[in-house]
Structures are given as structure tokens and as C-alpha cells.
């Protein structure tokens, strides 16, 4: 069953438990929370989660933060297969949440909030013999040159890999090169999301499909895809049967609050008005009260 119904939410979110005289921090007062919040998140947000948002959430709320990054689809499969427990799931694709929705999928997700995006780009090693060409020639021509080593993630495990395939297909159509998508897809090298940046940095790849925020975080040059437009759309939800639902709700409040959004912006996520998809009645009451309800669609 597909999560349906998209409700536009207010841009401004007010934390219900800030206790600081009106500052919209998104989260409980320091020391007010107990226990560990387990967050599974798309690996493209690792630096944000582990070195900024996670520690700040703990310092603000008193909850302990424990995060695991990986391909969004892979993490969703682990939730569905009960390989990993999670309180919160942060994905790079709304449709990954749909794969966890409904009785047939275990009812792990009944709602989610989309809060930001990042376009796909071609990040490249500045020491690659093709670096100069990527600066001056169309990317879709350079990646087809003999010896070019292009990396991507597995589309079966990670939305970025799926978006990379879509980018190649779009380029084939836009630039009228029917063989582009199939030839590049066959020759590109596939790696887990956690390994892709390391292999690029080590010079094992000339270039790889990255989200724009990742390229900035990893301090690697990148070129945009021109007329080809594909992007990650980041979402967050409290996982069904979460071990610590109160802590999970506090984490979502913090992420969507002013401090969380400031961290997201600082890590080059393009913010968008938080939008709720799915069963709004299943959203925790403290979050529902913070999300305006202008109407229902779908």
C-alpha cells in the first residue's frame, strides 16, 4: 500500500517543549530526556548527523543519540527484515517510505515529513587526468571517453544509484544519444554509499554521482548536470513500534525546529517547507500541533 495524501505544512515549526522563553529550538530542554534514540539515516547526511545535528540534539534534549548511515533502500530493507531496530528513519527518497507502508510491508511507516533536497551532480577527483575536461566540456561527453572511471551506488540499495541511472536516461533523451545510458551504466563501477567518497578521494575513480551537499562536505569539485534535473528529497519519520517513541518524537521535533534547520542549511541541504505525507492522524500529537493543516490532497 502506497503512502498517500500530501499535506502542506507550515514553514515555521514551534517546539512544544523548548522551555526557553519562545526560542523555537525543536526539542526538550537540556537534561529532560532519557534513553537512547536510534536513528537510521541516508549516508549522504553522515557528517551532518554524526558531527552536528546528533550531538546538538543530545546536548539540547538530554537524550543519547545513536546513528547508523547507509543506503536508504538498504536501511528500509533492514527495518522490514527486523535486522535493525530504529526509532527514527531519515531517507533520501519519499518512495522508500512507501516500501515500509501498509500491512503487507509491516506497517513500519504510516507518515513522513519531507524537509529538504539536494540535486545530483558529478563530483570528480581534482587530480584525475579528466579533471580539466570536466571543467570545459559537457559532462555527458567526458564520461564516455576511454578509460574514464565513473562510480555510483547500487539502485537496488540506494536512491542515489537510482537517480544516477535516471540522469543517464534523461541525458540520452535530451542530448539525443540513445546509447549513452546503456553504455555508461554498464561501464560504471558500483559501490556502497559509505565507500564511494573514499574511492573517489583515493583516486580509484575519476568521478562519481554525488548529491550537492556531499560534494561540499567532502571538499571535492563538482559539475552540475545542466538540463538533467534529478535530486534527493530528504524525509524523516518515527518508525512504527519504535523502542523509544518519545525520544523519536523529540528527535523529529529538533530536526524540524529552528536549530535543526540551521544545521541542515549549514550542511548545504536546500530547505523546503516541511510537508507531511500519509496518515496525519498517526503523527504524534506534539508534532501535529506544530504542523499547520491548510487542507488535504489525495
Question: Which tens digits make up the pLDDT trace of 114-126?
Answer: 999 999 999 999 9
pLDDT over 90 percentage in the chain? 79
Q: Is 6-116+232-288 a CATH 3.40.718.10 domain? A: no
Which position has the grid cell 535486522? 83
pLDDT at 187: 87
Question: Which tens digits make up the pLDDT trace of 208-233?
Answer: 999 999 999 999 999 999 999 999 99
pLDDT at 127: 97
When pLDDT is averaged across residues 140-148 and rounded to a whole number, the result is: 95
The distance from CA 194 to its chain's CA centroid, rounded to whole angstroms, is 13
Question: Which tens digits make up the pLDDT trace of 47-66?
Answer: 999 999 999 999 999 999 99
pLDDT at 32: 73
Rounded Cα gap, residues 61 and 259, in angstroms:
12
Rounded Cα gap, residues 233 and 44, in angstroms:
12
The band of 188, judged by pLDDT with boundaries at 50, 70 and 90, is very high
Mean pLDDT of the chain: 88
Read off φ and ψ for residue 107, nearest 5 degrees.
55, 40
Domain extents for the chain?
Answer: 6-116+232-288, 118-223
The band of 290, judged by pLDDT with boundaries at 50, 70 and 90, is low
Judged against a pLDDT cut of 50, whether residue 152 lies above it is answered with yes
> Is-contact 244 36, C-beta < 8 A?
yes
CATH number of 118-223: 3.40.190.10
pLDDT at 194: 83
The distance from CA 31 to its chain's CA centroid, rounded to whole angstroms, is 29
Same fold, 6-116+232-288 and 118-223: yes
CB neighbours (10 Å) of residue 256?
A: 23
Amino acid at each position: 500500500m502506497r503512502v498517500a495524501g500530501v499535506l502542506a505544512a507550515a514553514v515555521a515549526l514551534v517546539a512544544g517543549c523548548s522551555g526557553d522563553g519562545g526560542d523555537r529550538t525543536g526539542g526538550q530542554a537540556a537534561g529532560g530526556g532519557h534513553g537512547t534514540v536510534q536513528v537510521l539515516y541516508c549516508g549522504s547526511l553522515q557528517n551532518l548527523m554524526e558531527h552536528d545535528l546528533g550531538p546538538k540534539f543530545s546536548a539540547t534534549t538530554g537524550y543519547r543519540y545513536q546513528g547508523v548511515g547507509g543506503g536508504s533502500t538498504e536501511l528500509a530493507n533492514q527495518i522490514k527484515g527486523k535486522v535493525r531496530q530504529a526509532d527514527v528513519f531519515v531517507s533520501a527518497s519519499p518512495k522508500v517510505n512507501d516500501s515500509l507502508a501498509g500491512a503487507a510491508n509491516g506497517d513500519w511507516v504510516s507518515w513522513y515529513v519531507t524537509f529538504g533536497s539536494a540535486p545530483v551532480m558529478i563530483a570528480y577527483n581534482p587530480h584525475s587526468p579528466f579533471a580539466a575536461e570536466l571543467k570545459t566540456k559537457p559532462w555527458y561527453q567526458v564520461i564516455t571517453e576511454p578509460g574514464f572511471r565513473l562510480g555510483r551506488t547500487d539502485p537496488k540499495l540506494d536512491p542515489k544509484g537510482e537517480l544516477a541511472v535516471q540522469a543517464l536516461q534523461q541525458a540520452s533523451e535530451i542530448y539525443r544519444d540513445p546509447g549513452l545510458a546503456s553504455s555508461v551504466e554498464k561501464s560504471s563501477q558500483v559501490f556502497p554509499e559509505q565507500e564511494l567518497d573514499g574511492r573517489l578521494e583515493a583516486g580509484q575513480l575519476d568521478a562519481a554521482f554525488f548529491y550537492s551537499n556531499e560534494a561540499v562536505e567532502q571538499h571535492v569539485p563538482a559539475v552540475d548536470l545542466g538540463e538533467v534535473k534529478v535530486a534527493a528529497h530528504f524525509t524523516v519519520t518515527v518508525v512504527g513500534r519504535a523502542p523509544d517513541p518519545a525520544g523519536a518524537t523529540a528527535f523529529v521535533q529538533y530536526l524540524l525546529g529552528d536549530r535543526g534547520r540551521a544545521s541542515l542549511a549549514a550542511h548545504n541541504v536546500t530547505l523546503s517547507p516541511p510537508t507531511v505525507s500519509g496518515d496525519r492522524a498517526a503523527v504524534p500529537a506534539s508534532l501535529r500541533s506544530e504542523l499547520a493543516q491548510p487542507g488535504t490532497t489525495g
